Structure 1
Amino acid sequence: MSKELIYLLLIFALLVIPRALQRFSIPAPLSCLVFGIAAMLWLGNSAHDPVVGLLATLGISSLFLFAGLEVDLADLRKGMWPLLAHLVIRSATLTGVAWLAWHYAGLPWQAAALLALALLTPSTGFIMDSLSQLGLDEAERFWVSSKAIAGELLALAALFVVLQAGDPLHMGLSSLALIAMMVGLPLLFIALGRWVAPHAPGSEFSLLVMVGMLAAYITYSLGVYYLVGAFIAGLVARLLQQRMPSLASHDNLHALRLFASFFVPFYFFNAGTKVPSEALSFEALGLGLVITLVVLPLRIGVVWLQRRLMFGESFRSSLRVALALSPTLIFTLVLAAIMRERFAIPAVLFGALLLYAALTTLLPSLVFRRPLDVDPLQNESEPGADHALQDDAVREPDAMPGTEQAAVRDA
C-alpha cells in the first residue's frame, strides 16, 4: 500500500470516525488518542511518522493560538477580585500537590511541579470550545471561561519557570529572549499589516498563522513547549485588535477554527503513538483510578466551595461550574510527555496520567449528557453561537444573579 493512500485513510479515520462515535458521548479527542495507541501496539516504532508529527505540531500550535485570541482582558477585569481569589486558591493547591509529589512520590521537584500542573490545570481550549454544548446559563459560562483562561495564564507562566529553573543562567537568557519576543511580536504584526496586508488582501489569516508558528518555534527552542509561544502570539494579536482589527476579526477567527479543526486530531493521534506499551498495565490502571478518585473530587469540591462561599450560589449552579472546569486532557497529555522525556518518570505514572486525563474529559459528557469536543467548529453549529458566547462574556453585570453581580460590579 502506498504512503499516499495510508495518509488518506488516516485523515478519513481521524476526521470522520471520531465524529460518528460522539453519538455515544465519546469525545472525539479520546477516540483519536485511542487510535494512536492502537497504531503503536500494532506497528511499534513504525507508528512514529514525521509527517504526522508535523501535523500534530500544527494542531497544538493553532489550538493555543486560537486560545490566545480568545482572551479578553476587559472581561477578566470585570471579575478581577473573584479571579484573583481563584488564582490564589489555585496556587495554594498547586503548591500543596507539588510538595506531596516531591516528598512522597520520590520525584524531582521540577517533575513534581509539572505533575501538579498536569493534574490541576483545566484544558482551556477544550473547555472554551465546548461551552455552547453544556447548556450553562450566561453567568455560568462567563465564570467557566474566565476561570479557565486565568488558570491557563497561571499555568503557562509556571510551566516556563519550572522548565527553566534547573539552570539559572539559561533561565535568565530565556526570560530575556521571551521578553524580546513579546516586544517584537507587536512590531512584526504592525510591520506586516502596514507593508504586506494592504498589497495582499485576505492575507491576514496567513500572516497570523505564520507569526504564531514562528513564536511557537521560538519558545520550543528556548526549552519550553510550542503552546507557550503560540498562546502569546494569539494574545498579542488580540491586544492589537484596536490598531489592527483584521487580525482578530470574526472572519479570521472562523478561518483559524477551520485550520485547527483539521490539524488538532493529529495531535491526539500522535500523542497516542508515543505511549509506551509498559504504560498500558493493570498497575497503571489502578494508579490512574486512585489518582482520579482523590484529585478529581478535590478539584470539583474546591471550585464548588469557592462559588458557594463567594457568591452564595445554589448547590446545582456551583456544581455545574466546577464540573465544566474538570477536563484536563490537553495539558495532562503535554505535561506527561514532557515529564517522560526530560525527567524519565515511570511508565506506570505516565499511563496513570493518561487514564486520569481521559476520565476527567469524559465526566462532563456523562453528566451533561452531551459529548465534549475540542473542535472549535462546534461553536459554529448553531446560528449566532459564536457571537452569543462573546456577548455572554462582555455583558453587563446586571445579567448576573445576586451577590455574584455585586462582586463583579465592585471589581
Structure 2
Amino acid sequence: MRQDLVYLLLIFGLLVVPRALQRFNLPAPITSLLLGLAAMLAFGDRVQDPVVALLSTIGISSLFLFAGLEVDPAALRRGATKLGVHLVIRAAGLVLVGWLGMRWAGLGWQAAALLALALLTPSTGFILDTLERLGLAEDERFWVTSKAIIGELMALAVMFVVLQAGDPVQLGISTAWMVGMVVGLPLLFIALGRWVAPHAPGSEFSLLVMVGLVAAYITYRLGVYYLVGAFIAGFVARMLRIRIPRLASDTNIHALRLFATFFVPFYFFHAGTGISRDALTWEAGLLGLALTAAVLPLRVAMGWLQRRWLFGEARGASLNVSVALAPTLVFTLVLAEILYNRFQVSGTLFGALILYTTLNTLLPSLLLRTPFDVAPAGGPAAHPEDRMNGSHDPVPARHPDD
C-alpha cells in the first residue's frame, strides 16, 4: 500500500474511530492508545514511523502549551489557603508512595520518586480538555482546574530535579538553561509582538505554537521531556497577557485547543506503539489491577475527605472534584516510558502502570454524567434525562470561596 494512503487512513482512523466509540463511554485517548497497541502487535517495529513520532511530539507539546495558558495566577491566589493545604497533602503522598517504592519494589530513589509522580499526578492538559463535558458546577470546575494546575506545577518541578539529580554538574547546567529560558521567553515574545505581529495580522497563534515547540525541544534536549518547556512557554505567554493581549487571548486559547485536538490522538497512538511485549503479561495485568485497587480509591477518598472535612463542602461536590481529578493518563504514560527506557524497570511494572492509568481515566466517564471527549465544546452538554424533563438551565454559579 502506498505510504501516503497509509497516512490518510491513519488520520481518518484516529480522528473518527475514537469519536464513534465514545457512545460506549470509552474515552477517545484510550481508544487511540489501544489502536497503537494493536498496530504494534500486528506490524511490530514497522509502526515506528518518524512522521507519526513528529505528530506525536506536536500533540504532547500543544497539550501542555494549552495547560500553561490556562494558568490563572489571580484565581490561584484566590484559593491560596486551600491550595496550600492540598499541596502539603500531595507532597506527603508523594513521599509516602516513593518510600514504599524503594522499600517494597526495590527501586532507587529517583525511580521511586518518578513512580510516585506517575501514580498520583493528574494530567492537567487532558483534564482541562474534557472538563466542560463533565457536567460540573462552576465552583467545582474552578477547584478541579486549580488543583490540577497547582499539582502539575509541583510535579514538573519535582520531575525536573529528580531526572537531573544523578549528576550534580548536569543539574547545574540544566538549571542555568531553565533560568535562561524563563528569562528569554518573555523577551522573545515581546520582540515577536513588537516587530513581527504588527506586520502580520493574525500571526499570534502561529508565533505562540512555534515558541512552544522550541521551548519543548530545549527541555527535551536537557533530558526532562517536551512537556516541561511547552508548559513554561504557555505560562509565560499567559503572564504577558496584559502587555501582549492577542498572544494569550481567549480566541488563541480556543484555537490551541482545536489544534491540540487534531494532534493529541497521534501522541496516544504513538504511546501505544511503544508498549513493549514484555509489558503484556498476566503478571503485569494483576499488578495493574492491584495498583488500581489500592491507589485509586485512596486518591479519591483523600480528595473527598480533604474537601468534606477540612473545607466543609457538600458530599456530592467533594466527590465530583475528587473523581474529576482521577485521570493520570498523560503523566503516567510519559513517566512509565521514562522509567522503562532510562531506569530499566521491569516490563511487568511498565505494563501495570499502563493498565492503572487506563482504568483511572475511565472512572469519570463511568461515574459522572457525561462522557470524556478530547474535543472542546462550547459548554456543558445537557444530559439526556435533563432534556427529557425539559431542564436546560445551567447549574447556578457559586463563588469558589463560598
- TM-score, length basis structure 1: 0.92
Preserved CA contact (<8 Å) 1:134 1:370? yes
- Partner of 2:45 in structure 1? 45
Residue 305 (1) aligns with residue 317 (2): no
1:291-312 Cα distance to aligned partner (Å, 9 max, x none)? 0000001111111110012221
1:336-391 Cα distance to aligned partner (Å, 9 max, x none)? 0111110011001111000000000001100114221233x2356879xxxxxxxx
User: What is the CA–CA distance in structure 1 between the aligned matches of 2:381 and 2:104, rounded to whole Å?
Assistant: 49
> For residues 329-344 of structure 1, what are the structure 2 equivalents within 5 Å?
329-344=329-344
Preserved CA contact (<8 Å) 1:278 1:348? yes
Residue 59 (1) aligns with residue 62 (2): no
User: What is the CA–CA distance in structure 2 between the aligned matches of 1:32 and 1:247, rounded to whole Å?
Assistant: 31
Q: Which runs of 5+ in 2 are unaligned?
A: 383-394
Residue 378 (1) aligns with residue 380 (2): no
- Partner of 1:181 in structure 2? 181
Residue 244 (1) aligns with residue 247 (2): no
**TM-superposed deviation, 1:141:** 1.1
> For residues 182-201 of structure 1, what are the structure 2 equivalents within 5 Å?
182-201=182-201
Moved over 3 A (4+): 378-383
User: What is the CA–CA distance in structure 2 between the aligned matches of 1:192 and 1:62, rounded to whole Å?
Assistant: 19
* Deviates further, 253-262 or 325-334: 253-262
- Partner of 2:285 in structure 1? 285
User: What is the CA–CA distance in structure 2 between the aligned matches of 1:65 and 1:293, rounded to whole Å?
Assistant: 33
**TM-superposed deviation, 1:135:** 1.3
**TM-superposed deviation, 1:399:** 2.6
**TM-superposed deviation, 1:231:** 0.2
Preserved CA contact (<8 Å) 2:241 2:248? yes
Q: Which amino acid aligns with 1:308?
A: R
- Partner of 2:317 in structure 1? 317
**TM-superposed deviation, 1:320:** 1.2
User: What is the CA–CA distance in structure 2 between the aligned matches of 1:143 and 1:211, rounded to whole Å?
Assistant: 29
> For residues 125-136 of structure 1, what are the structure 2 equivalents within 5 Å?
125-136=125-136
Preserved CA contact (<8 Å) 2:129 2:257? no
Q: Which amino acid aligns with 1:261?
A: T
1:133-191 Cα distance to aligned partner (Å, 9 max, x none)? 11111211111111111101000001100001000111011001100000000000000
Using a 3 Å threshold, how does the CA distance of structure 1 residues 381 and 294 change in structure 2: closer, same or farther? closer
Q: What is the Cα-based RMSD across aligned positions, in Å?
A: 1.5
Residue 103 (1) aligns with residue 108 (2): no
Preserved CA contact (<8 Å) 2:216 2:230? yes
- Partner of 2:269 in structure 1? 269
- Partner of 1:19 in structure 2? 19
Preserved CA contact (<8 Å) 1:48 1:273? yes
Q: Which amino acid aligns with 1:203?
A: S
User: What is the CA–CA distance in structure 2 between the aligned matches of 1:381 and 1:367, rounded to whole Å?
Assistant: 16
* Deviates further, 330-339 or 247-256: 247-256
User: What is the CA–CA distance in structure 2 between the aligned matches of 1:273 and 1:346, rounded to whole Å?
Assistant: 18
Percent identical? 65
> For residues 147-158 of structure 1, what are the structure 2 equivalents within 5 Å?
147-158=147-158
Residue 222 (1) aligns with residue 222 (2): yes
Preserved CA contact (<8 Å) 1:308 1:315? yes
SS in 1 for 2:184: helix
SS in 1 for 2:377: helix
- Partner of 1:8 in structure 2? 8
Preserved CA contact (<8 Å) 2:135 2:369? no
Aligned pair count reads: 389
* Deviates further, 229-238 or 276-285: 276-285
Residue 84 (1) aligns with residue 84 (2): yes
- Partner of 2:327 in structure 1? 327
- Partner of 1:124 in structure 2? 124
- Partner of 2:362 in structure 1? 362
- Partner of 1:386 in structure 2? none
- Partner of 2:385 in structure 1? none
- Partner of 1:146 in structure 2? 146
Q: Which amino acid aligns with 1:307?
A: R
Q: Which amino acid aligns with 2:377?
A: Q
Q: Which runs of 5+ in 1 are unaligned?
A: 384-391, 406-411
